Amino acid sequence: MPHPAPADTTVSPKARIYAMLDTDGDGVASRHDYFVRIERVRRATGRTDDDPLVIAARTAGERAWAAMDANGDGVMTYQEYAAWVDAEKFDTVCQYALGALFDLADADRDGALDRAQFTALRQALGNRPDNADAAFDALDPTGTGLVDRAAYLAAIRAYVTGDHSPMGTALY
């Protein structure tokens, strides 16, 4: 029987992210939970199953899931996730899967999301609209109206690895 994430997800950034990965709320992140997130972004962006960016997101997701579910049992317990995720894993695995989801939301392919695109992406990934709005503001402190892909990924990396991330604090 897998051990679920701590009930109090305010404990750590890893616990908060893990709780978001557990899309059905049953206490464990399954393969289905992981891939339903990609499907939600696909639907939110209006892309078709054969869109090259959807295919790329699913391919990156397959690689990420294979790395996270090292024992191949179809579930990733909180303990497995907490022991697995770190800066090196973010740099070699997670950033590609998260970047592919960002790319799905980037309708004009300019490497940046406006507020509506960012909010749609984050809601599809399980964040409340007000959290997504606050996170956008944290990533756009100069008011350009855009969130850059590299800044987005850097903010998630900082949050996962325990560094200061105003975006991560707002989202989770």
User: Which pLDDT tens digit goes with each residue over 29-80?
Assistant: 999 999 999 999 999 999 999 999 999 999 999 999 999 998 999 999 999 9
Give this prediction's pTM: 0.89
Give the DSSP letter of residue 49: T
Higher pLDDT, 59 or 159: 59
Query: Could you tell me how far CA 126 lies from the centroid of its own chain?
Result: 9
3 has pLDDT over 50: no
Say which residues have a Cβ less than 8 Å from residue 16's Cβ, sequence separation at least 6.
9, 10, 172
Residue owning tokens 């960002």: 102
103 and 53 in contact (C-beta within 8 Å)? yes
User: Which residue carries 């560094």 as its tokens?
Assistant: 163
Give the per-residue pLDDT at 10.
Answer: 53
Give the mean pLDDT of 136-157.
93
Q: Structure tokens of 110?
A: 């300019």
Query: Does position 2 have pLDDT exceeding 90, yes or no?
Result: no
Q: Residue 85: is its pLDDT beyond 60?
A: yes
Structural domains of the chain sorted by starting position, each given as residue range(s) with its CATH number in brackets: 13-171 (1.10.238.10)
CA pair distance 52, 64, nearest whole angstrom = 18
